[in-house]
Structure 1
Amino acid sequence: MRKNLAIAMIAFGLVGALPVKAEVLTVGTTGDYKPLTWYNAESDQYTGQSVALVKAFAEEYGYELKIVRTTWPNLSADLAEGKFQLAVGGITITEQRQKTFIFSDPLRVFGKTPLVRCGEEKKFSQLSQIDRPGITVVENPGGTNEKLARDIIHHAKLVVVEDNHQPFEYLLNHQADVMFTDSIEATYKQNQQSGLCAAAPNWLLKKGEKAFMFRDDETELRGQFNRWLNSYKKKK
């Protein structure tokens, strides 16, 4: 009854339009890949360059942003199951992912590089120095770092740990010697004076592109984001 009365009052111009609830934009991210995505458990907040970008997009179009935590091994399955509309935060465009999902325009170009303890860069500046008996390579699970290591490491020991935080601990605690990671992350770690350095910053394996990854039925949303991104870049 009240609903019908409200509609009638609006129709006759007796009151202003009722407030419209914002459309929810559901975004998945791992929250473990600085400087692109990071989850702070104490504040229950997500930060990072990719998070800031999707927040700016949502604000521009009036979306209510909902961020869903995922993991690298589960990211693709979670997106396919509809737990979120798009995934952000250091996601590489790959042929395998393109079979199932659609991507935004590329956000940045990167390469893979060895990350080691600072002071040991010269010991691991070539693949032949890394892929040999007695050397341990450590990787996080489920992403392109692990895939690269499995493709190129044949003689060194490869250890795949449970999450994205552990490889750095393994390196600093001398439980491993090398991690292959994105040049973005390696540069960030080095600049943060974390004790870890890029062994060969000019030696970039498997150059690729980072982008936001959308469900294949979100073509309209992807197009909207790409148009906004193009305008956003021109303003920067």
Structure 2
Amino acid sequence: MRQRVEQSESKHQQRRKMKTMLFSALLLVSGVVQAQSHLDQVRVSKTLKVCTTGDYKPYSYLRSDGQYEGLDISMAESLAESLGAKVQWVPTTWKTLSDDFVAQHCDIALGGVSVTLKRQQIAWFAQPLGVDGKIPLVRCADKAKYQTIEQINQPQVRVIEPAGGTNEAFVHSHLPNASLTLFHDNVTIFQQLVDKKADVMITDASEALFQQKHYPQLCALNPEQPMQYGEKAYMIPRDDMSWKQYVDQWLHLSTATGDYARIAEQWLGVIK
């Protein structure tokens, strides 16, 4: 008799545990359902919050009149238009980009953002828009001196980079012996090379090719053979699958219809 009572109590406890587990699972599912996707937030608010640095031509540049321009700026406006929304620009810096994103200051971050595993830890990336990579930007008169990492990684070589971001990270990782200066302005930094206040700037091939058009004294070295592989993509909040699928589909259609190529041609030249 005692054994039957114990068995009955044991079954009752098991049922209570099962009910508790089921209730917890329902709460978890309910929480996921209630967490509104950025897709729905943008559709309801009619506002697309975009984090961008505004200092990285040809992707994102804040003009003196307070207006943004660039390849990714035009793409952000296209994304907002597809949702019947307007863009709200959220200024950020390369040093604070990840922190601003984790703090949920924006729905998407763009403006020449490079894909890195460190950024992937706190955010998702939409499908990559293209392959890029780190190359030296130098005075054309000195281009024979700075063709390789070995040539640049010398104490007498003055490397200049904007603070934060992947350019500085590359120098710390691959050029530890070079003399590094962190410059406060990513727009006027190129004049430092022209004025011989620095020798080399490591940057993405796309930026180097763009800037050499505006600074005839500067040359982008070996853009077809970068020192480090890279990709450009838009950062989106982690764990928001509905938003990622929408952004990816919008990018796919923009590429397939030629809209992206038409915008990119204005800033990068013909996209192959």
**Shared fold per TM-score greater than 0.5:** yes
Q: Secondary structure at the match of 1:119?
A: helix
- 2:156 equivalent to 1:134: yes
- Bigger proportion of residues as helix: 2
- 2:199 equivalent to 1:192: no
* C-alpha displacement of 1:194: 4.4
Q: Give the direction of change, closer, same or farther, for the CA distance of 1:193–1:173 in structure 2 (3 Å limit).
A: closer
Q: Which moved more, 1:210-219 or 1:62-71?
A: 210-219
Q: Which moved more, 1:116-125 or 1:188-197?
A: 188-197
Aligned residues: 216
- 2:233 equivalent to 1:211: yes
Choose from 17, 20, 23 the match for 2:46.
23
* C-alpha displacement of 1:60: 1.7
Paired position in structure 2 for 1:144: 166
Paired position in structure 2 for 1:41: 64
Choose from 90, 104, 118 the match for 2:126.
104
Structure 1 residues 1-236: aligned runs within 5 Å: 23-42=46-65, 44-236=66-258
Q: TM-score, normalised by structure 2?
A: 0.75
Structure 1 runs of 4+ with >4 Å offset: none
Partners in 1 of 2:93 and 2:210 — Cα distance?
21
Which of structures 1 and 2 has the bigger CA Rg?
2
Letter in 2 for 1:187: L
Q: Give the direction of change, closer, same or farther, for the CA distance of 1:166–1:193 in structure 2 (3 Å limit).
A: closer
| Structure 1: gaps (5+ residues) | 1-19
Paired position in structure 1 for 2:35: none
Q: Percent identity?
A: 36
Deviations 1:156-200 (A, max 9, x none): 211112231343132112111001000000010112344221133
CA RMSD after TM alignment: 1.7
| Structure 2: gaps (5+ residues) | 1-42, 259-272
Letter in 1 for 2:47: V
Partners in 2 of 1:160 and 1:210 — Cα distance?
23
CA contact (8 A) 1:111 1:204 kept: yes
Q: TM-score, normalised by structure 1?
A: 0.86
Q: Which moved more, 1:177-186 or 1:215-224?
A: 215-224
